[in-house]
């Protein structure tokens, strides 16, 4: 019998939310354990087995010189590399440092800033090595994680639509919060995958899955203004979990030049 494929989970700069999503797959974890050999999963076990790895799930962003080196090593050892979560796919909330001077933050936050070794920016995995698939979200969606794993196990291209959140919202039969309530919502420019979680609770989308493919952000900004957001509020709306996603950065920079 051939040995089962190996699965490794790697952590870079991030919280543990995405890894917990995997632990949250309670019903499927035992089946998964029967299908793959989990060779590295820091949240579940301290064991680290040597590569190569058939699939590496990589969470977190690159914020230190050591991480810059380590991600290349993991890429070399991995047949398929999946970046999971907003940190790994756009730099995460910690990429807010990219817009300011990290030395100031360091001095403000830490009593002994000289012990802190960090890069000036937080960058996604794809900025350093080729990535096979990306799972968006803060945190990732459990069903999408299972889709990537079951697709990998059988050799299918995973079904990860890059459309707007609106497609999921409408398929759920939800009423648009922006049209019916005037609630600001990033859904029309945000990558699908969450299943329209926030609109289902009558909240606007926060954009935690980052920009969809080719979003038309200027067109949405006009509607956000019509919903009563001022320029600062609009900038804040795009400066969250995926602040450093290029489409979101461009928008903020574009509007800043317009305002001058």
Which is nearer to another protein, 57 or 71 (by Cβ)?
57
How deeply is 76 buried, as exposed, middle or buried, from its count of CB atoms within 10 A (0-12, 13-18, 19+)? exposed
Which is nearer to another protein, 120 or 219 (by Cβ)?
219
Q: How far is the CB of 111 from another protein (least distance, A)?
A: 47
The H-assigned helical ranges of 50-159 are 65-77, 85-90, 102-109, 142-154
106, 116 Cβ separation under 8 angstroms: yes
220 forms part of the interface with another protein (CB under 8 A): yes
Cis peptide before 243 (omega within 30 of 0): no
Q: Which two tokens stand for residue 244?
A: 């450093």
- Which position among 72, 171, 236, 256 is part of the footprint of another protein (CB under 8 A)? 171
Binding piece for another protein, criterion CB under 8 A, among 106-114, 126-134, 216-224, 241-249:
216-224
Q: How far is the CB of 202 from another protein (least distance, A)?
A: 6
As a whole number of angstroms, the distance between CA 93 and CA 79 comes to 29
Tell the residue number behind the tokens 């230190």, with chain if given. 64
156 forms part of the interface with another protein (CB under 8 A): yes
- Which position among 21, 78, 164, 242 is part of the footprint of another protein (CB under 8 A)? 164
Largest CA distance in the chain: 67
- Which position among 2, 50, 130, 155 is part of the footprint of another protein (CB under 8 A)? 155
Which is nearer to another protein, 27 or 114 (by Cβ)?
27
149 forms part of the interface with another protein (CB under 8 A): yes
Which is nearer to another protein, 162 or 231 (by Cβ)?
162
Cis peptide before 129 (omega within 30 of 0): no
Q: Residue 24's CB: how many other CB atoms inside 10 A?
A: 14
109 forms part of the interface with another protein (CB under 8 A): no
34 forms part of the interface with another protein (CB under 8 A): yes
Q: Which two tokens stand for residue 106?
A: 């360091």
The residue length of the chain stands at 260
Within 8 A by CB and 6+ apart from 204, the residues are: 177, 178, 183, 184, 185, 186, 187, 198
Binding piece for another protein, criterion CB under 8 A, among 96-104, 122-130, 131-139, 183-191:
183-191
Which is nearer to another protein, 64 or 223 (by Cβ)?
223
Which is nearer to another protein, 103 or 180 (by Cβ)?
180
Which is nearer to another protein, 83 or 146 (by Cβ)?
146
As a whole number of angstroms, the distance between CA 253 and CA 259 comes to 10
- Which residues in this chain contact another protein in the complex, by CB under 8 A? 28, 31-32, 34-35, 146, 149-151, 153-157, 159, 161-164, 166-167, 170-176, 178-181, 185, 187-189, 202, 213-216, 218-220, 222-223, 226
């Amino acid at each position: 019998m051939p040995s089962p494929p190996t699965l490794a989970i790697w952590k870079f700069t991030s919280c543990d939310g995405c890894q917990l999503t995997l632990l949250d797959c309670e019903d499927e974890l035992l089946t998964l354990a029967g299908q793959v050999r989990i060779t590295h999963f820091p949240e579940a076990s301290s064991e680290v087995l040597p590569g190569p790895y058939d699939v590496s799930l990589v969470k977190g962003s690159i914020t230190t010189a050591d991480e810059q080196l380590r991600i290349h090593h993991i890429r070399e050892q991995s047949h398929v590399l999946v970046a999971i979560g907003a940190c790994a796919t756009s730099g995460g909330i910690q990429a807010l440092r990219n817009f300011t001077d990290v030395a100031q933050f360091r001095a403000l936050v830490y009593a002994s800033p000289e012990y802190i070794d960090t890069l000036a920016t937080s960058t996604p995995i794809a900025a350093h090595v080729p990535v096979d698939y990306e799972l968006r979200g803060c945190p990732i969606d459990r069903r999408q994680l299972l889709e990537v794993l079951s697709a990998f196990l059988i050799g299918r291209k995973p079904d990860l639509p890059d459309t707007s959140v609106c497609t999921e919202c409408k398929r759920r039969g939800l009423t648009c919060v922006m049209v019916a309530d005037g609630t600001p919502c990033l859904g029309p420019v945000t990558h699908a995958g969450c299943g329209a979680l926030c609109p289902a609770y009558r909240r606007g989308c926060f954009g935690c899955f980052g920009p969809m493919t080719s979003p038309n952000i200027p067109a949405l900004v006009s509607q956000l203004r019509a919903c009563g957001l001022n320029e600062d509020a609009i900038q804040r709306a795009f400066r969250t979990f995926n602040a450093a996603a290029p489409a979101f950065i461009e928008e903020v920079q574009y509007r800043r030049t317009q305002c001058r």
